[in-house]
Amino acid sequence: MAQQQQQPQLKGYTSYKHFNVTSAGPAFVVHVEINRPAKLNAFFEAMWLELGQIFRQLSSDPDVRAVVLSGAGDRGFTAGLDIHAASSNNQLQSSGALDVGRKAAQLRRYITEFQDSISAIELCEKPVIVVLHAISLGLAIDIACAADIRLCTRDVRLAVKEVDIGLAADIGTLSRLPKAVGNFSWVKEVCMSAREFGATEAQQVGFVSQVLDSKVAALDQAIKLAGLIAGKSPIAVQGTKELLNHARDHSVSESLRYTTVWNSAALQSRDMMDALSASVQKKKPVFSKL
């Protein structure tokens, strides 16, 4: 992990300030690290806008096939929104100059832009594996829900914290969590009570798919898994991401129809042939860039 942090910023991503974007080791795997450890990786507006830009760039970068997302430092993935920054934010102040309807219009634009930044993770064509460790509150859950695969450490402290600051979570948690886990009673319990939950509970209800003993182990596992996925056909993997997200949001018959149209182009790529012939030759297949 320490190694990760010493890696140079990836070419083409050097302008980003609040995130380390580095090669993770395995070919085609990029590591994005929230880099504000002194403030527990808490987010302010410029940070989430940058996060959105990074994932939009990764989405069409042919040198990227899988992304690992984690938070710098030992204290946590992120403590969520930087309350100090938020409370001095004009958008959220009830400015005397605006009546309620006008303020509402401003808020809609503000929330939409914020949502779009986080949704960029889901819309990124490449799979994103998030590693949650230690303090992972509020926005941490919004971000994790937008990622594809969630791993956590044994010591993780998770909470849907928003009701404690007087609002219903609006950056994605409430929209995605009910479809990410298999216990709607639990979803309501943690979202309404803001209580913390740990690794065991997270795994039991289906929020994470693996629990690792430490941040180092979790990051290693995430990178290993990302490497495994990055070695597969990118046509197959990226199609799988798209089709699973589409399936979550549509009826089975709609999803089957969309799948048919999607694969009518994808099956004409060279990847099936490349995969099959590598398999026959007991070699690792090599796939063209995508």
Of the listed pieces 10-18, 36-44, 70-78, 221-229, which binds a second copy according to CB under 8 A?
Answer: 221-229
Q: How far apart are the C-alpha atoms of 111 and 170, rounded to whole Å?
A: 7
Min. distance of Cβ 115 from a second copy in angstroms?
5
Q: How far apart are the C-alpha atoms of 83 and 85, rounded to whole Å?
A: 5
First-last CA distance in the chain: 28
Min. distance of Cβ 6 from a second copy in angstroms?
28
Residues 5, 25, 56, 194: which binds a second copy (CB under 8 A)?
A: 194
Residues 11, 252, 283, 284: which binds a second copy (CB under 8 A)?
A: 252
* Interactions with a second copy, residue window 12-71 (CB under 8 A): 60
> Residue 8 carries which DSSP code?
P
Element (H, E) at 257: helix 252-266
Is residue 281 close enough to count as binding a second copy by CB under 8 A?
no
Of the listed pieces 43-51, 70-78, 133-141, 203-211, which binds a second copy according to CB under 8 A?
Answer: 203-211
* Interactions with a second copy, residue window 131-190 (CB under 8 A): 148-150, 162-170, 172, 174-189
Q: How far apart are the C-alpha atoms of 42 and 136, rounded to whole Å?
A: 10
Of the listed pieces 15-23, 31-39, 41-49, 114-122, which binds a second copy according to CB under 8 A?
Answer: 114-122
* Interactions with a second copy, residue window 92-111 (CB under 8 A): 92, 94, 98-105, 107-109, 111
Is residue 88 close enough to count as binding a second copy by CB under 8 A?
no
Contact 226, 32 (CB under 8 A): no
Min. distance of Cβ 33 from a second copy in angstroms?
20
- Residue 38 or residue 111: which is nearer to a second copy going by CB? 111
Contact 255, 247 (CB under 8 A): yes
- Residue 35 or residue 115: which is nearer to a second copy going by CB? 115
Residues 3, 63, 83, 88: which binds a second copy (CB under 8 A)?
A: 83
Is residue 263 close enough to count as binding a second copy by CB under 8 A?
yes
Supply 166's token pair: 């007087």
Q: How far apart are the C-alpha atoms of 180 and 174, rounded to whole Å?
A: 10
Is residue 200 close enough to count as binding a second copy by CB under 8 A?
no
CA distances from 277 to 123, 234, 235, 236, 265 (A): 32, 17, 16, 16, 20
> Residue 88 carries which DSSP code?
T
Supply 18's token pair: 């609040």
The residues with which 20 forms a beta bridge, in sequence order, are 33
Contact 122, 245 (CB under 8 A): yes
Min. distance of Cβ 190 from a second copy in angstroms?
8
Residues 3, 63, 213, 248: which binds a second copy (CB under 8 A)?
A: 248
Is residue 125 close enough to count as binding a second copy by CB under 8 A?
yes
